[in-house]
Chain A
């Protein structure tokens, strides 16, 4: 009899959202970004808009003011998303999630890029964003830029083409964990994971992490077995922040295994019980990023899945109920029981 993990969290789902192709590439991109934000703010509890710019107007609430922000510049449709270089008019939005543990735990998403295929994202673990204008982004004293550890913009799943998208989002009912991923033309495009960690290190005052990952044409992160060795494990795509030391941190994902992951060591069910393994995922800050080195916690309700035989994208697993889990690339997530995962 199969054995499935007992979930730590209860989850709210808004998955299998079909975003039809728009008339232009820009319109497709605008619609996708807007729908992602709209999904995050629709969860209850969910993310709260604290401020926004639509490139012609902007506004942002005082840190201690009640929200959400609904004034001028608030995003109301895809057309609110306007891209422009940092000193020219562009859109941005600040979202707050107090369940993450900081006083003002917030993320800033900015369209300060000349092309609409990418965005920039910052996290403020506890201080919150203030300021900004239609041509400049708000800032926070503890802000940390999230873009795969580099200066390039960050994917939100856009293919930069006139295509349809499938948008999937889930958020724990306590608000501490958010996951959003995008498929298009049958292929994984991007994922954001914004979670407070499980069993985090003592001394980490704002133990939440943002992980962003996306499809690379040459290596297919998260879409094939290369994700195990190149997607999560080797790349510092997960960012966190420790307030006391005013230091940022990037993490590697860990897993159990004999010299590598169990899920890679043998790409088949266990010979004795005929079950595929699901193993927990830890987060480790490597020694190159002092002063926050060490193993600092693990993700809630996420597991390494088996690398093979090659599963179809969106492989579903039963649980206590049918279709209780879904595998995307190397990772297994809880699922809402839908019989398929839309890959558009």
Chain B
């Protein structure tokens, strides 16, 4: 009889979200970024909240536009919403449920986008449909979008700042977190700051292509809000196959050492097209970030034999039990002032690095658990899963 790990947390899932290609890289990136944020905001228990933003409006269609076909927006259309607060004076809005993008030339009355033209998509507006302003990428000092998200399940003032201040390349982002103080300030051209801010991505790839592409988005969060994971997957022809090109992990550590006051670990691995959940990115390089009295980096540890990592040692099930390994993941730092093994991660495990994917590991391989497909392996990692078949692209 197979043995499976006992979950420490209960989990809520929003996985297998399809983001159809729009034939424009920027539009795909805009939809993906909002889909990611909407996933965080949409969890039932302890969802993330928006603390502040610039040109990242999160609103809904108002009754004045109910049943309006967006094909009528040809240059002078009016889109009625609950609020335009924080929107740029001109730009574009996204209607995710219609996969539509509508440009506008003005705002009026705090609840109307005016001069609207539908530039992509079709359909009929319905009251309460979500409307977002389309993120704008530009270098710091120039008008760009940013958003600060809060998650009190991690700490009372934990915040994540996502800024499109990486120039005009929308497959890059700047991302920081503040474990306990929170971000303040900021403007239309400058990102907010926090005295304990810790950089996660600096003009770094966040998981979307440099050209138009189709993706799947998978988000999961523990019901207590302490652990959040997001995976961006896409299909690559050739030997890579389906790959996870983006991985966001924000989580409190299990059994943190005394002295780590806010034991939160944050990692955002991104590539335009390559797998990111590899032994190399996780086990052999310091790609996770945290902060004690100063910022420090973390590497994910695992059981090894004099440096030979068990998931890469024998690429098959245990001869005796016939079972694949699921091994716990620890956290270790070599940053001076924060050196040592500081804790482990909840409900995530190293899986065997399969022969077929010696670098990336298998993608989307299900494990049954107590119920069907209770776990899934993506790259080198095994995650809890919601029993569905994981769709990768």
B239: min CB distance to chain A, Å: 24
In the assembled complex, A310 has its CB within 8 A of some CB on chain B: no
| Complex CA distance for A274 and B339, rounded to whole angstroms | 10
Q: Which residues of B contact A275 (CB under 8 A)?
A: 257
Instruction: Determine the residue in chain B with the shortest Cβ distance to A3.
Output: B258
A224: min CB distance to chain B, Å: 16
Within 8 A of B (CB), among A252-294: 252-262, 265-266, 268-275, 277, 279, 282, 284-287, 290-294
Centre residue among B301, B309, B316 by max chain A CB count within 10 A? B301
A280: min CB distance to chain B, Å: 9
Within 8 A of A (CB), among B292-320: 292, 299-307, 309-310, 313-314, 316-320
Centre residue among A201, A202, A265, A294 by max chain B CB count within 10 A? A294
In the assembled complex, B110 has its CB within 8 A of some CB on chain A: no
| Complex CA distance for A33 and B236, rounded to whole angstroms | 65
Contact A271 B319 (CB under 8 A): no
Taking A256-B330, A272-B260, A294-B320 as contacts, is the C-beta distance between A277 and B340 under 8 angstroms?
yes
In the assembled complex, A233 has its CB within 8 A of some CB on chain B: yes
B233: min CB distance to chain A, Å: 27
Interface of chain A, helix or strand or loop or mixed?
Answer: loop
Q: Which residues of A contact B300 (CB under 8 A)?
A: 258
Contact A286 B313 (CB under 8 A): yes
Q: Which residues of A contact B303 (CB under 8 A)?
A: 254-256, 282, 284, 295
Contact B314 A271 (CB under 8 A): no
Tell me the count of chain A residues lying within 8 A, CB to CB, of chain B.
Answer: 46
Contact A254 B310 (CB under 8 A): yes
A47: min CB distance to chain B, Å: 27
A175: min CB distance to chain B, Å: 24
Q: Which residues of A contact B307 (CB under 8 A)?
A: 257, 259-260
Contact A258 B339 (CB under 8 A): no
Contact B341 A262 (CB under 8 A): yes
Please encode chain A, from 172 to 208, with 1 for each CB lying within 8 Å of some chain B CB and 0 for all others: 0000000000000000000000000000011110000
In the assembled complex, B130 has its CB within 8 A of some CB on chain A: no
Taking A254-B310, A270-B342, A272-B260 as contacts, is the C-beta distance between A201 and B304 under 8 angstroms?
no
In the assembled complex, A229 has its CB within 8 A of some CB on chain B: yes
Contact A293 B340 (CB under 8 A): no
| Complex CA distance for A258 and B285, rounded to whole angstroms | 9
A56: min CB distance to chain B, Å: 44
Centre residue among B305, B307, B327, B339 by max chain A CB count within 10 A? B305
Contact A201 B318 (CB under 8 A): yes
| Complex CA distance for A294 and B313, rounded to whole angstroms | 9
Taking A258-B332, A260-B306, A282-B303 as contacts, is the C-beta distance between A293 and B337 under 8 angstroms?
no
B125: min CB distance to chain A, Å: 53
Contacts A252-B306, A282-B303 aside, 11 further interface pairs with beta carbons under 8 A come to A3-B258, A201-B320, A254-B310, A256-B301, A259-B284, A259-B309, A272-B342, A274-B259, A284-B313, A295-B318, A295-B325
B positions within 8 Å CB-CB of A? 1, 3, 257-260, 283-284, 292, 299-307, 309-310, 313-314, 316-323, 325, 327, 330, 332-334, 336-342
A positions within 8 Å CB-CB of B? 1, 3, 201-204, 228-229, 233-234, 242, 252-262, 265-266, 268-275, 277, 279, 282, 284-287, 290-296
The list of the 7 closest CB pairs from A to B, nearest first, reads A270-B340, A294-B318, A272-B259, A203-B320, A233-B306, A202-B321, A201-B320
- Interchain residue pairs with CB less than 8 A apart (7): A203-B321, A204-B321, A233-B305, A252-B306, A259-B309, A284-B303, A295-B303
